[in-house]
C-alpha cells in the first residue's frame, strides 16, 4: 500500500488542478480550448483509479482491503479529530473507477455539446471541480470530510443546474435543488453530530468498531442516527419525499444531467448508506425504512415517468426510480446488489442522458416529445446508443440492467418480512420496461417530426465518440457482476465488493434459505421485461394515435402533473414559509429597526449638542477652548511631575 500513498491524492488533485487552471486562464487565454485541461485531468484520474482498482483486486492481504492513507491533519479540537485521509477498500475503489471513467466520457462529450456556448470555460471549470469533489467524497475516511465534500458536490450541482442562469426556470431549479438538499443535509448533519456526541470520534473505522457495543446499550440511538443519515441520503439521492429537485435539475446542460444527476452525485447517498453499513445494520427499523422508502420511490417515480413528454424528465424520473431500487437492495441487506445496480446504472443512464443530449443538440434545444419524433435516420449513432441504453434500463435479458435488477429482486423477494416491496419492485420493473421503450419509440420511430427551428440536423464527433465508448461500457460492465464467481452468485463484482468491511456488515444479515431461486427470479423479470417492451413497441409502432386514446382520463392528468406533488409542497411548505418570511421582514423593518433607531439617535444628539456649544465658527471661541485644554494639560503634567 505504500506505493499507493504516494500518488493516491493525484486522483482528486488532477481534476481540481484542471479546474483551477481554467478558473484562472479560462476567460482570457484558453477560451475555446478550456476542455483540454479537464479532459486531461479527468482522464488521468480515471487511469489512476483503474490502477487502484486492479491493485486492490490483485492484492488480497487484509491491509489492502482497508487502507487508510493519511493526507493532512485538518482539524484537531479536543476529541474532534478530522484528518483528510483516504480510505481505500473495494467499495471506494469501485466507486473511484466508476466515477472517473464515466466522467472522462462525459467531459469528452461536453466538448462537442458545449462548443460555442459563451460559458464554455465556466462549464469545464465547474465540471472539473465537481469531479474532484466527488472523488474526495468517495475517498473520505471520516464523517466530517464526507460531509464537506458532500456539500461541495451539492454546490457544483447547484452551479451546473443553474448554468444557464439567465433562464428563470434554470435559476429556480438550481435554487430548488439547493433548498431541498438543505433539508436532507440538515438530517445528515444531525446524524453526524449524534455520532460525534456518542462515539467521541468521527472516524469511520473507529465509529463502526464501537457500533455493536453502542447498539446493545441503546438501540434507539442507533435507529435515530441511521434515520438521520438516511434523510441526508434521501436528499442527495432524490428519494421520497425529497426527490422533487431531481426532475427540475434537468434544466442544466445534458452532460451535467448525465454525470451528476444520473451517474455520480445522486448515487452518493447509496454509497454513504453502504459505507455506513455498520450503523444501518445495527437497526432493523432503519433497514426496513430504507427498503420501504426505496421500493415506494421506485414505484412512485416510475408511475410519473409514464405520462411525461420531456425525454430528459422521463430519464430523470427513471433515475429516481432506479435509485429507489438501489436503496431497496441496501435495505433488504444486499449491498452488493445495490452497488452493482449503481455501477451498471451509472453507465447506461449516463449513456441515455448523453443520447438525449445528442437529440437536443440536433433538435436545436428541443427535447419535448410533443414536437419531435421518428428521428432514427437523422441521428443514427444516437439512435443506437439510446437503444442500447434503453434495453439495459428496461432490463431485457442479458443486459446490464437485467443482471443488476435481478440481483435486487432476488434479495427483496427473499427478504423475510418485506417481500411485498419485492413484488412492488417487480411491478416497477414492468413499468420501467414500458416507459423506457415508450420514450425510445416516440423519439426514434413513428412519423418524423422535427421542430421548425431545427436546421442542420447533425451529430458531433466528440459526442459520438463518448456515446460509442459508453455503449461498449454498458455491455462490458454488465458481465462484471453476472453469473457465478468462485462458486458464488454475484460474479466477480460481488466477490470483490464482498471483501469490503462495510459490505460484509450487510452480507452477514442475509440468510441462505431462499424462497425464490436465481432461476425463478431471472425468469420472472426476464419475461416481464420482454413482454412490456414488446407491448410498448407494438403500441407505438404505428405512431402515437393508439396511445393517445388513453390520455383523456384523470389518472393520466394526475401523472402528467406529477401527482401534484410540487403543488402540494408549494401549498404546505413553500407558501407558509414565504408568508412567515414576509412577516419577519415586516417585523424587522418596523420593530427591530425602531429599537435600533433609539440607539442611533443617542450619539447624534451628543454631536448636535457639542456642535451648538463649541463649534460656532468663531475663531476666538476656538482659541479659548484650545487655551483651556492646553491649561488643563499643563496643569496635570506639572502635577504629575511633582
Binding-site ranges for another protein (CB under 8 A): 615-620, 623-624, 627
Residues 58, 470 contacting (CB under 8 angstroms): no
Closer CB to another protein, 620 or 642, in the complex: 620
Closer CB to another protein, 531 or 633, in the complex: 633
Task: Compute the least distance from the CB of residue 635 to another protein, in Å.
Answer: 16
Cα–Cα dist 151/140, whole Å: 13
Cα–Cα dist 226/184, whole Å: 13
Closer CB to another protein, 476 or 625, in the complex: 625
DSSP symbol at 218: -
Task: Compute the least distance from the CB of residue 251 to another protein, in Å.
Answer: 57
Task: Compute the least distance from the CB of residue 623 to another protein, in Å.
Answer: 5
Which residues, in sequence order, are bridge partners of residue 313?
none
Cα–Cα dist 175/169, whole Å: 10
Closer CB to another protein, 557 or 615, in the complex: 615
Decide: residue 419, CB within 10 A, 0-12 exposed, 13-18 middle, 19+ buried. middle
How many Cβ atoms from other residues are within 10 Å of residue 499's Cβ? 18
CA dihedral over 393, 333, 229, 130, signed as positive or negative: negative
Residues 354, 360 contacting (CB under 8 angstroms): no
Query: In a 3-state reduction of DSSP, which class is residue 394?
Result: helix
Residue in the structure block whose three cell numbers are 440468510: 511
Task: Compute the least distance from the CB of residue 627 to another protein, in Å.
Answer: 6
Which residues, in sequence order, are bridge partners of residue 67?
88
Task: Compute the least distance from the CB of residue 616 to another protein, in Å.
Answer: 6
How many Cβ atoms from other residues are within 10 Å of residue 513's Cβ? 6
Query: In a 3-state reduction of DSSP, which class is residue 240?
Result: coil
Residues 361, 109 contacting (CB under 8 angstroms): no
Closer CB to another protein, 28 or 616, in the complex: 616
Query: In a 3-state reduction of DSSP, which class is residue 72?
Result: strand
Cα–Cα dist 122/106, whole Å: 16
Task: Compute the least distance from the CB of residue 611 to another protein, in Å.
Answer: 8
Cα–Cα dist 238/558, whole Å: 21
Task: Compute the least distance from the CB of residue 620 to another protein, in Å.
Answer: 5
- Which triple of cell numbers denotes residue 196? 460525534
Closer CB to another protein, 590 or 620, in the complex: 620
Task: Compute the least distance from the CB of residue 619 to another protein, in Å.
Answer: 5
Closer CB to another protein, 585 or 631, in the complex: 631
Query: In a 3-state reduction of DSSP, which class is residue 119?
Result: coil
Closer CB to another protein, 618 or 638, in the complex: 618
Task: Compute the least distance from the CB of residue 597 to another protein, in Å.
Answer: 25
Task: Compute the least distance from the CB of residue 607 to another protein, in Å.
Answer: 11
Closer CB to another protein, 6 or 620, in the complex: 620
Cα–Cα dist 176/187, whole Å: 17
Closer CB to another protein, 599 or 619, in the complex: 619
Residues 19, 132 contacting (CB under 8 angstroms): yes
Closer CB to another protein, 24 or 627, in the complex: 627
Helix (H) or strand (E) holding 88: strand 80-88
Closer CB to another protein, 77 or 638, in the complex: 638
Cα–Cα dist 566/41, whole Å: 39
Residue 311 CB contacts under 8 Å (≥ 6 apart), including other chains? 356, 359, 367, 368, 369, 439, 443
Task: Compute the least distance from the CB of residue 612 to another protein, in Å.
Answer: 11
Among residues 83, 99, 115, 108, the alpha carbon closest in space to that of 46 is found at 99
Task: Compute the least distance from the CB of residue 601 to another protein, in Å.
Answer: 21
Closer CB to another protein, 61 or 620, in the complex: 620
Task: Compute the least distance from the CB of residue 637 to another protein, in Å.
Answer: 17
- Which triple of cell numbers denotes residue 32? 475555446
Among residues 358, 594, 551, the alpha carbon closest in space to that of 460 is found at 358
Amino acid at each position: 500500500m505504500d506505493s499507493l500513498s504516494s500518488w493516491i491524492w493525484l486522483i482528486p488533485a488532477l481534476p481540481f488542478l484542471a479546474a483551477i487552471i481554467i478558473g484562472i486562464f479560462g476567460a482570457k487565454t484558453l477560451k475555446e480550448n478550456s476542455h483540454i485541461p479537464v479532459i486531461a485531468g479527468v482522464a488521468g484520474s480515471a487511469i489512476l483509479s483503474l490502477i487502484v482498482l486492479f491493485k486492490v483486486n490483485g492484492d488480497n492481504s487484509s491491509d489492502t482491503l482497508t487502507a487508510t492513507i493519511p493526507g493532512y491533519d485538518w482539524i484537531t479540537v479536543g476529541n474532534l479529530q478530522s484528518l483528510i485521509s483516504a480510505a481505500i477498500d473495494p467499495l471506494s475503489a469501485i466507486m473511484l473507477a466508476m466515477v472517473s471513467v464515466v466522467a472522462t466520457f462525459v467531459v469528452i462529450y461536453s466538448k462537442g455539446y458545449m462548443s460555442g456556448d459563451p460559458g464554455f470555460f465556466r462549464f469545464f471549470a465547474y465540471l472539473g471541480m465537481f469531479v474532484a469533489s466527488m472523488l474526495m467524497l468517495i475517498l473520505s475516511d471520516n464523517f466530517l470530510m464526507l460531509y464537506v465534500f458532500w456539500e461541495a458536490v451539492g454546490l457544483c450541482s447547484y452551479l451546473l443546474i443553474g448554468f444557464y442562469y439567465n433562464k428563470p426556470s434554470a435559476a429556480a431549479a438550481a435554487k430548488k435543488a439547493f433548498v431541498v438538499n438543505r433539508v436532507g443535509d440538515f438530517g445528515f448533519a444531525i446524524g453526524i453530530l449524534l455520532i460525534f456526541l456518542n462515539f467521541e470520534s468521527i472516524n469511520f473505522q473507529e465509529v463502526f468498531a464501537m457500533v455493536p457495543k453502542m447498539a446493545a446499550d441503546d438501540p434507539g440511538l442507533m435507529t435515530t442516527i441511521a434515520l438521520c443519515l438516511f434523510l441526508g441520503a434521501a436528499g442527495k439521492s432524490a428519494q421520497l419525499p425529497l426527490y422533487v429537485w431531481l426532475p427540475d435539475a434537468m434544466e442544466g446542460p445534458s452532460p451535467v444531467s448525465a454525470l451528476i444527476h444520473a451517474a455520480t452525485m445522486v448515487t452518493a447517498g447509496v454509497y454513504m448508506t453502504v459505507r455506513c453499513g455498520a450503523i444501518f445494520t445495527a437497526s432493523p427499523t432503519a433497514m426496513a425504512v430504507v427498503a420501504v422508502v426505496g421500493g415506494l420511490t421506485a414505484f412512485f417515480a416510475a408511475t410519473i415517468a409514464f405520462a411525461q413528454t420531456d425525454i430528459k424528465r422521463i430519464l430523470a424520473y427513471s433515475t429516481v426510480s432506479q435509485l429507489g431500487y438501489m436503496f431497496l437492495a441496501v435495505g433488504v441487506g444486499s449491498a452488493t446488489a445495490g452497488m452493482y445496480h449503481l455501477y451498471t446504472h451509472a453507465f447506461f443512464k449516463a449513456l441515455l442522458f448523453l443520447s438525449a443530449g445528442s437529440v437536443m443538440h440536433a433538435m436545436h434545444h428541443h427535447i419535448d416529445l410533443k414536437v419531435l419524433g421518428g428521428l432514427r435516420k437523422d441521428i443514427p449513432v444516437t439512435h443506437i446508443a439510446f437503444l442500447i441504453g434503453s434495453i439495459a434500463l428496461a432490463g431485457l435479458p442479458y443486459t446490464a440492467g437485467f443482471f443488476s435488477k435481478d440481483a435486487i429482486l432476488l434479495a427483496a423477494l427473499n427478504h423475510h418480512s418485506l417481500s411485498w416491496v419485492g413484488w412492488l419492485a417487480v411491478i416497477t420493473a414492468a413499468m420501467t420496461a414500458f416507459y423506457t421503450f415508450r420514450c425510445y419509440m416516440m423519439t426514434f420511430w413513428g412519423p418524423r417530426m422535427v421542430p421548425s427551428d431545427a436546421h442542420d440536423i447533425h451529430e458531433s464527433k466528440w459526442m459520438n465518440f463518448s456515446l460509442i465508448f459508453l455503449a461498449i461500457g454498458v455491455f462490458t460492465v454488465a458481465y462484471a457482476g453476472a453469473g457465478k464467481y468462485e462458486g458464488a452468485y454475484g460474479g466477480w463484482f460481488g466477490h470483490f465488493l464482498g471483501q469490503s468491511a462495510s459490505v460484509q456488515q450487510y452480507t452477514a444479515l442475509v440468510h441462505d434459505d431462499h424462497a425464490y431461486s436465481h432461476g425463478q427470479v431471472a425468469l420472472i423479470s426476464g419475461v416481464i421485461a420482454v413482454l412490456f417492451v414488446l407491448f410498448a413497441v407494438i403500441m407505438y409502432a404505428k405512431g402515437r394515435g393508439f396511445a393517445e386514446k388513453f390520455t383523456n382520463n384523470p389518472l393520466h392528468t394526475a401523472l402528467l402533473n406529477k401527482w401534484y406533488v410540487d403543488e402540494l409542497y408549494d401549498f404546505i411548505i413553500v407558501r407558509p414559509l414565504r408568508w412567515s418570511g414576509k412577516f419577519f421582514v415586516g417585523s424587522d423593518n418596523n420593530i427591530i429597526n425602531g429599537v435600533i433607531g433609539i440607539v442611533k439617535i443617542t450619539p447624534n444628539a451628543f454631536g448636535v449638542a457639542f456642535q451648538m456649544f463649541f463649534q460656532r465658527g468663531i475663531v476666538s471661541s476656538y482659541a479659548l477652548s484650545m487655551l483651556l485644554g492646553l491649561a488643563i494639560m499643563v496643569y496635570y503634567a506639572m502635577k504629575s511631575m511633582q
